[in-house]
């Protein structure tokens, strides 16, 4: 069974631009979560989607948004990029909301200059 | 809000010895705890978990201990191997799946 895939793997953007990251979960997994990883901060929870609905949301500004499609694929969008948005963005999927174990993708490394 | 804390950013251990990674949490609503392992350029991979109704869970060389009264959990790796060198993240989840991660501890196992 294929794992969680994320595209693109690396991205360089300029301050003020917007970016869209994509995540395809493991087949059969209906829950997708997004995390931001920065040195010293660990994994900061952004949001979780289940059956196309946002179920949980972390403490990030409204510039960070996401959505999930009917095939469970998810996208994350960051508008008006700031230098501090440079990070590794990880997507994780799990079978359903009752399952605790998450399976992570390799991440998208975003650099904002 | 750092509801899950890993106070040691790094740990170095000799091969064959025990590695002990620690994690503290503040939210008493957490009822499920997990450890993830992360190699460079890869996403975290699930390692071991424990429910709040238990105080110990063992899987091969890996054992997780939970002390609910102290809001503390630890991961023991015995014996440690060079391939265990990675960043280890502690995670905690509430019943409604609000999951929080610690900042990670970089474990280096020296041959």
**Is B44 in contact with A106 (Cβ distance < 8 A)?**
no
| pLDDT reported for residue B40 | 87
pLDDT, mean over chain B: 94
Sign of the torsion angle spanned by Cα atoms A89, A20, A85, A51 = negative
Q: How many of the other CB atoms lie within 10 Å of CB of B40?
A: 6
**Is A102 in contact with B97 (Cβ distance < 8 A)?**
no
The C-alpha of A43 sits at a distance from chain B's nearest C-alpha, in angstroms, of 6
**Is B99 in contact with A59 (Cβ distance < 8 A)?**
no
Q: How many of the other CB atoms lie within 10 Å of CB of A105?
A: 25
Spatial separation of the C-alpha atoms in residues A58 and A39, rounded to whole Å: 18
Partners of residue B46 in chain A, C-beta under 8 Å: 101-103
Local structure of residue A26 (DSSP, 8 states): P
Indicate the pLDDT class of residue A1, thresholds 50, 70 and 90: low
For chain A, positions 34-73, list CB contacts with chain B under 8 A: 35, 40-45, 48, 55-56, 59
Q: What is the pLDDT of residues B32-43, one digit of tens each?
A: 999 999 998 889
| pLDDT reported for residue A60 | 94
Say if CB A76 and CB A19 are below 8 A apart. Answer: no
Q: What is the pLDDT of residues A61-113, one digit of tens each?
A: 999 999 999 999 999 999 999 999 999 999 999 987 667 889 999 999 999 99
Q: What is the pLDDT of residues B73-93, one digit of tens each?
A: 999 999 999 999 999 999 999
For chain B, positions 59-88, list CB contacts with chain A under 8 A: none
**Is A90 in contact with B93 (Cβ distance < 8 A)?**
no
């Amino acid at each position: 069974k294929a794992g969680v895939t994320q595209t693109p793997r690396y991205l360089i953007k300029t301050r003020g631009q917007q970016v869209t990251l994509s995540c395809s979960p493991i087949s059969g997994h209906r829950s997708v979560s997004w995390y931001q990883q920065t040195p010293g901060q660990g994994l900061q929870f952004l949001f979780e989607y289940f059956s196309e609905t946002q179920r949980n949301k972390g403490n990030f500004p409204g510039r960070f948004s996401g959505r999930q499609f009917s095939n469970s694929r998810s996208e994350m969008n960051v508008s008006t990029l700031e230098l501090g948005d440079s990070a590794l963005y990880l997507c994780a999927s799990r079978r359903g909301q009752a399952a605790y174990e998450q399976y992570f993708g390799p991440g998208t490394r975003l650099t904002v200059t | 809000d750092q509801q899950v804390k890993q106070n040691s950013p790094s740990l170095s251990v000799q091969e064959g010895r025990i590695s002990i990674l620690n994690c503290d949490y503040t939210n008493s609503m957490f009822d499920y705890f997990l450890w993830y392992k992360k190699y460079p350029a890869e996403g975290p991979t699930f390692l071991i978990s424990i429910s709040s109704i238990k105080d110990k869970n063992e899987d091969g060389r890996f054992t997780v201990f939970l002390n609910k009264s102290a809001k503390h959990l630890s991961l023991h790796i015995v014996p440690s191997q060079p391939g265990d060198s990675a960043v280890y993240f502690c995670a905690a989840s509430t019943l409604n799946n609000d999951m929080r991660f610690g900042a990670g501890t970089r474990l280096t196992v020296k041959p």
